[in-house]
Copies of this chain bind each other. A is one copy, B any other.
Amino acid sequence: MARRAAATKPRARSRAPATARELATKQRDISVSEFFAKNRHLLGFDNPSKALLTTVKEGVDNSLDACEEAGVLPDIRVEITQLSETRFRVAIEDNGPGIVRAQVPKIFGSLLYGSKFHRLRQSRGQQGIGISAAGMYGLLTTGKPVKIITRTGKRKKAHHFELVIDTKKNEPKVKRDDEIDWDRDRGTRVEIELEGAYRGGQHSVDAYIRQISLANPHAQITYVPPKVEEHGAEHVFPRVTKEIPEETAEIKPHPYGVELGVLMQMFRDTKSRNLRSCLTSDFSRVSSRTAGQICERAGVAPNRRPSEIGREEAEKIHKAIQDTKIMAPPTDCIAPIGEDLILRALKAEVNAEFYAAVTRRATVYRGNPFLVEVGLAYGGALAADDTIIVYRYANRVPLQYQPGACAITKAASATDWKSYQLQHPRGALPVGPALLMVHIASVWVPFTSESKDAIAHYPEIIKEIRLGLQECGRRVATFIRKRKREADEARKRAYIEKYIPQVAVGLQQILDLSEKQRDKVVDNLTDVLERSRKM
């Protein structure tokens, strides 16, 4: 073996011990774009059909976030044009606030740039990777630049950009930058050309558009799928409400969730001039009294200058924090969809017999506030013999891949659905005519990967989902039992009704009644049956 390999190896191997210097010459920086270009499956570009979906998703997420931050009712257009068998152009257009010219290249032409990473606030995007990664994938597979049109107001001109990412430097290269006329007063349009595949099924773009519309009832979404058979028709998903989701507050980190290294970094960066004010102003839920308790417990003076606090003191403070009782973080930073809107969205989505929705109270995992919502539709047009349909959402974004790895699936499979009148094979999802919609909203959603397909199994999160499912389960069980009881009664009644005339004839013969008396008996018996039914 060794001999064969040696024979075909181009260079002689150096076994000299002085290799450290040689090795040193090969060391170099790897740009984050190079890293993700090579590892693009990590960002959701595993294969052509997932790449198409991810591109649409990143574009729509950004548009929705931008509209909400600016307080605009989103009006979003998604156009997919098939250019050849394997090549597509995706265009996403919104009526958001637009982007100021100087920011455009960085936002679309470099990875890890954005406004959402450094704050604790609920938004769809978290990382500052998504849309530029989609552009990078387009460039990689088609060589075409990303095209952006953006306008920040009526009195401003629209800017038109074409740019590519320089993967070696993770920097944008602007190919075109001019002003153009645009019929929108305000908004942004992004166009990306990429190698892709347009497929149906639960992983499809079509399914995504349906589901995103369901969880964003304030958004109007116009979808133009690629022409498959007939002329590509527009599908409009109208808004169900004109109420924009409440703008969510940005929160400060809760002391319990802060690690020693982060704490030390905060002491170095703080603008506060002493420890006490740093604790009260840079963290959530630390009152001056609490700060005093922490300092005392740590044996560090409250008037100590934070930048002078060394590792050992920081460690004492860190320990003191864990030992001090501190209020849970505020939860008003989470914006739920709300039970009312979930019901309305579900009713627009599917023609069922029964609907339920539960918005749980916000709670906390690892210092991060989060909240769970569950919607359920039952019966009607839903198929009775299949596994129930589960729509999973995180911060209003549907999760379409990796259901098996997701906390939502785990909680749904572990809930005892038999007691809620559904068939339930052990360890699997229940079977029945039901659609479940589970939404988790948080300032920081713990995804299992950057491709944001599944939620990690934090026990606190699974517990909240289970409680939401149980609440909906109890309500649907009441409905199903009531319907069963009614069906039972109707059957019994039909049965009795059928025999009332025979009973009357029997009584007529025994008691020697007239025809009229006999008819009266029929009326009376029917009346009794009627009344007993009503009780």
CB contacts (< 8 Å) of A259 on chain B: these are 140-141
Interface 1/0 per residue, A110-154 and B, CB below 8 Å:
101111011100000001100000000001111110000000110
Contacts of A23 in B (CB 8 A): 66, 69-70, 97, 99, 115
Question: Of the 9-residue stretches A229-237, A242-250, A477-485, which lies at the interface with chain B?
Answer: A242-250
Q: For residues 205 through 249 of chain A, which have their beta carbon under 8 Å from a beta carbon of chain B? A: 243, 246-249
> Given A11-B249, A249-B10, does the pair A315, B143 have CB atoms closer than 8 Å?
yes
What residues of chain B lie closer than 8 Å to A113, measured between beta carbons? 27-30
Of A285-293, A329-337, A390-398, A412-420, the segment with at least 4 beta carbons within 8 Å of chain B is A329-337
A396 to B249, CA, bound (A): 49
B153–A97 touching, CB < 8 Å: no
CA–CA, A330 and B10, complex, Å: 11
Q: Give every chain B residue within 8 A of A201 (Cβ-Cβ).
A: none
Taking a contact as CB atoms closer than 8 A, the residue among B1, B31, B69, B332 that contacts A4 in the complex is B332
Q: A143-B311, A261-B143 are in contact. Are A21 and B249 (CB under 8 A)?
A: no
Task: Return chain B residues, CB-CB under 8 Å to A383.
Answer: none
A352 within 8 A of B: no
| Interface contact B261-A6, CB-CB below 8 Å | no
Q: Are A27 and B115 in touch, CB under 8 angstroms? A: yes
Chain B positions within 8 Å of A265 at CB level: 167-168
Q: Is chain A's binding surface mostly helix, strand, loop or mixed?
A: loop
Q: In angstroms, how far is the closest chain B Cβ from the Cβ of A311?
A: 4
Interface pair B143/A450, CB less than 8 Å apart: no
Determine how many copies of this chain the complex contains. Answer: 2
Q: Which of A117, A127, A335 has the most CB of B within 10 A?
A: A117
* Contacting pair B249 A30 (CB below 8 A): no
Q: List A141-177 residues whose CB lies under 8 Å from chain B.
A: 141-144, 152-153, 167-168
CB contact under 8 A between A450 and B39, given known A23-B69, A24-B100: yes
A338 at the interface (CB under 8 A from B): yes
Indicate if A42 sits at the interface (CB-CB under 8 A): yes
Stretch of A101-109, A271-279, A509-517 on the interface side = A101-109
Whole-angstrom CA separation of A103 from B359 in the bound complex = 54
Chain B residues positioned under 8 Å from A1 (CB to CB) = 246, 336, 338, 359
A365 to chain B, nearest CB (A): 13
Q: Which of A12-20, A343-351, A527-535 contacts B (4 or more CB under 8 A)?
A: A12-20
In the bound complex, residues from chain B placing their C-beta under 8 Å from that of A117 are 30, 34-35, 38
For this complex, into which size category does the number of interface residues on chain A fall?
Answer: 35 or more
Report the bound CA distance from A23 to B330 in whole Å: 24
What is the CB-to-nearest-CB distance from A488 to chain B, in angstroms, rounded to a whole number?
Answer: 39
Q: Tell me the complex Cα distance, A6–B332, Å.
A: 8
Are B14 and A100 neighbours in the complex by a CB distance under 8 Å? no
Q: Is A264 an interface residue when CB atoms closer than 8 A count as contact? A: yes
- Is A330 touching B69 in the complex (CB atoms < 8 A)? no
* A69-B359 Cα distance, complex, nearest whole Å: 58
Within the complex, what minimum Cβ distance (angstroms) separates A300 from chain B? 15
Determine whether A71 belongs to the interface, using a CB cutoff of 8 Å to chain B. yes
Asked if residues A100 and B6 are in contact (CB atoms below 8 Å), the reply is no
B71:A112 contact, CB within 8 angstroms: no
Contact of A324 with B by CB under 8 A? no
Q: Is A5 an interface residue (CB 8 A)?
A: yes
* CA A376 to CA B27, docked complex, whole Å: 39
A30 in contact with B114 (CB, 8 Å)? yes
Question: Within 8 Å of chain B (Cβ to Cβ): is A260?
Answer: yes
A32 touching B34, Cβ below 8 Å: no
Q: Which residue in B41, B71, B97, B139 is a CB contact (below 8 Å) of A13?
A: B71
Q: For residue A32, which residue of chain B has the nearest CB?
A: B32
Chain B residues within 8 Å of A141, by CB? 259-261
Task: Decide: A14 and B97 in contact? CB cutoff 8 A.
Answer: no
Query: A98 an interface residue at 8 Å Cβ cutoff?
Result: yes
* CB atoms of A5 and B167 under 8 A apart: no
Closest 6 A/B residue pairs (Cβ)? A140-B261, A15-B71, A26-B115, A20-B152, A30-B112, A19-B70
| 8 cross-chain CB contacts under 8 A | A15-B70, A15-B71, A17-B153, A20-B99, A34-B118, A41-B446, A41-B448, A143-B260
Given contacts A19-B97, A20-B70, 10 further A-B contacts (CB under 8 A): A6-B246, A17-B72, A18-B97, A21-B100, A26-B115, A30-B112, A35-B112, A39-B450, A139-B261, A140-B259
